[in-house]
Structure 1
Amino acid sequence: MIRKKRKFEEEEIVADLLPVMNVMLLMVPLLLQAMEYATLASVNVAPPRFSAASSDAKPDDPNKEKPLNLKVMVLEDGFRISADAQQEGAEAGKATDSRAPTIPLAKPGTPLDDYDRYDYAALEQRVKNYKEMFPNETTVTISAEANIPMQTLIHTMDTLAGRECKLARALKGEAIPADCYFWQPIVEAGAG
Structure 2
Amino acid sequence: MAFRPSKRSRRPPESTELKLTPVMNLMVVLIPLLLTSAQFIRLGMIEINLPPAVGAGGTSIGVPKEVEKKLDLSVTITDTGFYLASSLAVALGEKGEGPTIPKTPDGKYNYAELSRQLYEIKQKALGIFTDTNKIVILAAPDIDYQTVVSTMDATRSIKINGKIYSLFPVVSLGATVI
Describe the shift of the 1:59–1:37 C-alpha distance in structure 2 as closer, same or farther (beyond 3 A).
closer
Aligned to 2:3: none
Q: Spell out the pairing of 1:35-46 with structure 2 (5 A cutoff).
A: 35=37, 38=40, 40=43, 41-46=45-50
1:3-39 CA distance string (max 9 Å, x none) = xxxxxxxxxxxxxxxxxx9x97675255246348646
Aligned to 1:104: 102
Q: RMSD across aligned C-alpha pairs, in angstroms?
A: 3.9
Q: Spell out the pairing of 1:6-85 with structure 2 (5 A cutoff).
A: 27-32=29-34, 34-35=36-37, 38=40, 40=43, 41-48=45-52, 57=64, 60=67, 66-85=69-88
Q: Spell out the pairing of 1:133-172 with structure 2 (5 A cutoff).
A: 133-135=124-126, 136=130, 137-162=132-157
Aligned to 1:132: 123
Are the counterparts in 2 of residues 70 and 141 from structure 1 also a CA contact under 8 Å? yes
Are the counterparts in 2 of residues 73 and 79 from structure 1 also a CA contact under 8 Å? yes
Q: 1:184 aligns with which of 166, 170, 174?
A: 170
What residue ranges of structure 1 are gaps of 5+ in the alignment? Answer: 1-20, 110-116, 165-177
Q: Which amino acid in the other structure matches residue 72 of structure 2?
A: N
CA distance in 2, matches of 1:55, 1:29: 55
Cα deviation, residue 153, structure 1: 1.0
Q: 1:87 aligns with which of 83, 86, 90?
A: 90
Cα deviation, residue 74, structure 1: 0.1
Percent identical: 23
Of stretches 144-153 and 46-55 in structure 1, the one that deviates more from structure 2 is: 46-55
CA distance in 2, matches of 1:85, 1:147: 28
Q: Which amino acid in the other structure matches residue 47 of structure 2?
A: V
TM-score scaled to structure 2, two decimals? 0.61
Describe the shift of the 1:25–1:191 C-alpha distance in structure 2 as closer, same or farther (beyond 3 A).
same
Cα deviation, residue 159, structure 1: 1.2
User: Which structure: larger Rg?
Assistant: 2
What is the aligned residue count? Answer: 143
CA distance in 2, matches of 1:27, 1:83: 54
Cα deviation, residue 180, structure 1: 2.1
CA distance in 2, matches of 1:120, 1:184: 18
Q: Which amino acid in the other structure matches residue 76 of structure 1?
A: D
Cα deviation, residue 163, structure 1: 5.5
CA distance in 1, matches of 2:85, 2:101: 11
Are the counterparts in 1 of residues 84 and 100 from structure 2 also a CA contact under 8 Å? yes
1:121-140 CA distance string (max 9 Å, x none) = 11111111122122351111
Are the counterparts in 2 of residues 145 and 190 from structure 1 also a CA contact under 8 Å? yes
Greater per-residue strand proportion: 2
TM-score scaled to structure 1, two decimals? 0.57
Describe the shift of the 1:158–1:57 C-alpha distance in structure 2 as closer, same or farther (beyond 3 A).
same
Are the counterparts in 1 of residues 134 and 170 from structure 2 also a CA contact under 8 Å? yes
What residue ranges of structure 2 are gaps of 5+ in the alignment? Answer: 1-22
